[in-house]
Structure 1
Amino acid sequence: MRLTIKSTVTLHSVVYYSCGYFVTSYGERLFLAGTQSCRDTGRKRRSAQASTFDQGGNLPAVRSVNERGVSPVRHNLRMKIAVLGATGQTGQFLVNQALQQGHTVTAIVRNPAKLTIHHALLKVVEADIFSANSLKAHFKGQDVIMSCLGFPTSMLSAVTGYSQSMSAVISAMREARVNRIVTMTSWYTEPDSGRQSPFIIRFMLLPMIRSLLTNMYEMEKTLQKTDDINWTVVRPPGLKNQPATAQEFLTHEGYFVPDCGSSVGRGDVARFMLSLLSSNAWVKKGVAMTTKQYE
């Protein structure tokens, strides 16, 4: 039996809990009291990095060397981007923002009819995300692959979609000679990272979605074993169906952002993922992210 929440419209699998509520795969929320969100308290978070972007997800054209000693690329570079999971809610934010920034986007989908976005720089193609042969033709000529793929959790069977699709994606990238990918997973994918989470997350939510997080972690480990792929794994907390804001990002090289229990809008996740095209700071790394929230 799959764990579900009854909404006014349909049934969706619970995929995350954060900031006082369970979040479903379509962003619907079931609130629980007594949790703390991440607020701007004026404290310095040594383990978190804050970065400022505008509402469209844009970096300044030129920035100074960052804390990692890597000079970001100029933002006005236009790229050819292949997007996986483009019909999902985060994927649609990413496609829209990429087009607004002037990138050329190839949306690789299972059902083209589900993507209602129309733009001169957008091409929508159909492919099997589990087949390298199906993907490689659409990867040729791309500068970067960006994945917002998501798979439902189940109480009866193990989740395998993340690792299986990534194996196909990596094979297709090698055949198409594309070596850059930005993908998303979640906070707490590493099995022991949840020990520092709030009680209700550690003992109620994480056991329910452990199969989902385990497969995300397996996918991350697959990427870590590659020598020829410049990958970045973006780990957001609970997802809300909200557009991009101008809020600062808080980032941490780990499996969650310390002292922050906030959720984050899908638009801001897309904004952050696209910002990585302008920087080498997180290449071959996983980065937990959220946005700073103000009282």
Structure 2
Amino acid sequence: MDTAPWTDTPASCSLPLSEGILSQYFDVVTDTLAEELTGPVDESGDVPMATPALEDLTRCTVDDIKDCDLVLVCAAAPFNASARGGKSEEGTFVPLSVQYRPYTADNEHVRQVSLAGDLLEDGTRENRSYYGRTSQVTNEYQLDQILEAAALAKEVGIPCVVVLDIMQPMCVHEFEDQVDAIVVSMSGSTEAACRIVAGLDEPSGLLPMQMPKDMLDVEASPEDTSRDMTCYTDADGNTYDFAFGLNWSGVIDDDRVTAYKVPVLTKPEW
């Protein structure tokens, strides 16, 4: 069976950004991990190691963060279990999703017969349709972390800022209206993110892609044209389109935007 190499990943707990750099810009208050871990022992390495269980983690409370200036949450883009193969462990095709919560592909925009497919031994064409099946995103917990942190920040009355480390479009409708700011990082640089959040550097980046409104819009977009999505519009009326960005003054509208945000080429010019 042609499937992805399905494996279990041992549980772990660590700060998403470098603690050394974080401490240069902030007085860090974070969740704590018990000294003695009670999770299953990871025997995959040369030396067996204890892993954390959920009970080993003590989450921050209102009292812990009441003197903080903000809550900072870091998240990666939704990660599909079989991102290259697009298959379940059983070998059936499943949708590749750009949202955290499970997405079931049963809407009118999903093809029930795929455009492409290998020629099978019996002479028929393989159907790669994933109609009616559900996505398998492995880091759905990231959305829970964002929503829990945002709720805690709101209870204390301080801002919640999300740093998204992404290299692809994603849906933000699941959490955008619950947080106060989103910083998109494509460099993975802890220091760059810290300096912007601390107000030492002004954000200047532009989106090199569209951020879709939701998965229905992803499905409705033709495969062979670019920049054809209905983009997400946030609570402040900003649309997360190609070449969109914000700085301290508002929406960026400089020479780069003029140069890059040109009409989409849909046919040869010659």
TM-score for the superposition, normalised by structure 2: 0.38
Higher RCO structure, 1 or 2 (CA under 8 Å, sep 6+): 1
TM-score for the superposition, normalised by structure 1: 0.35
Structure with greater strand percent: 1
